[in-house]
Homo-oligomer: A and B are copies of this chain.
Amino acid sequence: MTMPAEEDFYPSRIDAGETITARRDPVVHGAGTACSEASAALLSRYENNGFFQLDDLFGAREVAEFQEEAERLRSARTLARRNEVIVEPESNSVRSIFDVPCFSDVFDQLARDARLVNWARALLGDEVYLHQSRLNYKPGFSGKEFYWHSDFETWHVEDGMPRMRAVSMSIALTENRASNGPVMLIPGSHRHYVSCAGLTPEKHYERSLRRQEYGVPSTTGLETLLGDREIAVVTGQAGSVLVFDCNTMHGSAGNITPYARTNLFLVYNAVSNALRRPYSGQEPRPEFIARRTGIEPLIPRAATRV
């Protein structure tokens, strides 16, 4: 007996024009059980907008420890020339480090921290594992822009993530100001799927980590997604956490200010939503970008607040 071919719920870059269709998955999965009125309000905001922000999750000493660790990794000689380390095209300075827990006990513990993992479990209604992690360093004066994109579109097409059941957490390690290229999101965009025009070239990721060229929505598509809502600009102190659905359209402007912008980006995926073959039909991207083997549910680690 032959298994039927697996259905592609979210085709994109299939050499057709751009289309916008309704999301075919819940936003808040499972019961979405809230333990308090405050968290119920956040779940509702997540459902409607596709994101919320947590301002006071970490103490000042914890944040200082994260900052020191990020600086240590940036200049760690042992990391130089590793594939996990992405450098700026022009200056050669470190722009991103992937698979951060591999190189750092501090961030390994943070990725397992109950304050984060329990939110991921509540939103995804499942056990969760770390699909991707990266430290992003956006330097002062020359931070490049990131154009609008849905992470899920790429994770689906290039990595084989079947459904929308993953959540991203961006932990600010520097202050996110209106001036230094903060994350901007299109509220409500997570409820729609933009199937992008074109095809994916082979080994696209080697270039796309520097500059996105495929899986990019059209300006008309972006205007349709926005409708009469307002683009949200996320500002917040170091230590604040932006929690956003895998399909929320987001981007950021360049940074000409002297203020660097560093964040730790953690993506939790439902164990039931583990990766399959990439829907592009191409070779999977490396494991440090999209975990597909050795997956184990994270056990939430109770933090001793320092």
* Residues of chain A whose beta carbon lies under 8 Å from any beta carbon of chain B: 140-141, 145, 147-148, 177-179, 181, 184, 219, 222-223, 226, 231, 233, 251-259
B256:A219 contact, CB within 8 angstroms = no
Supposing A179-B231, A231-B179 touch, asked if A141 and B222 sit within 8 A by C-beta, the answer is yes
B141:A258 contact, CB within 8 angstroms = no
A226:B256 contact, CB within 8 angstroms = no
Q: How far is the CA of A222 from the CA of B179 in the complex (A)?
A: 15
Cβ of A259: which chain B residues have Cβ within 8 Å of it? 231
Q: How far is the CA of A140 from the CA of B252 in the complex (A)?
A: 14
Cβ of A253: which chain B residues have Cβ within 8 Å of it? 145, 179, 181, 253-256
Cβ of A233: which chain B residues have Cβ within 8 Å of it? 177-179
Q: How far is the CA of A178 from the CA of B230 in the complex (A)?
A: 11
Cβ of A141: which chain B residues have Cβ within 8 Å of it? 219, 222
Q: How far is the CA of A255 from the CA of B254 in the complex (A)?
A: 9
The smallest beta-carbon distance between A233 and chain B, in angstroms, is 5
With both beta carbons as reference points, the residue of chain B lying nearest to A258 in the complex is identified as: B223
The smallest beta-carbon distance between A102 and chain B, in angstroms, is 32
Q: How far is the CA of A231 from the CA of B255 in the complex (A)?
A: 12
Cβ of A231: which chain B residues have Cβ within 8 Å of it? 177, 179, 257-259
Cβ of A177: which chain B residues have Cβ within 8 Å of it? 231, 233
Cβ of A148: which chain B residues have Cβ within 8 Å of it? 256
B219:A258 contact, CB within 8 angstroms = yes
What are the 10 tightest A-B residue pairs by CB atom distance, in nearest-first order?
A: A178-B178, A253-B253, A178-B233, A179-B231, A141-B219, A179-B233, A223-B258, A254-B254, A253-B254, A251-B256
The smallest beta-carbon distance between A268 and chain B, in angstroms, is 27
- 17 A-B pairs within 8 Å (CB atoms) are namely A141-B222, A145-B254, A145-B256, A177-B231, A177-B233, A179-B231, A181-B253, A184-B257, A222-B258, A223-B258, A226-B258, A231-B258, A251-B256, A252-B256, A253-B254, A253-B256, A254-B254
Q: How far is the CA of A147 from the CA of B258 in the complex (A)?
A: 12
With both beta carbons as reference points, the residue of chain B lying nearest to A255 in the complex is identified as: B253
Q: How far is the CA of A240 from the CA of B76 in the complex (A)?
A: 49
The smallest beta-carbon distance between A226 and chain B, in angstroms, is 6
Cβ of A256: which chain B residues have Cβ within 8 Å of it? 145, 147-148, 184, 251-253
Q: How far is the CA of A254 from the CA of B258 in the complex (A)?
A: 16
Cβ of A219: which chain B residues have Cβ within 8 Å of it? 140-141, 258
Q: How far is the CA of A184 from the CA of B226 in the complex (A)?
A: 26
With both beta carbons as reference points, the residue of chain B lying nearest to A232 in the complex is identified as: B179
With both beta carbons as reference points, the residue of chain B lying nearest to A252 in the complex is identified as: B256
Q: How far is the CA of A105 from the CA of B252 in the complex (A)?
A: 39
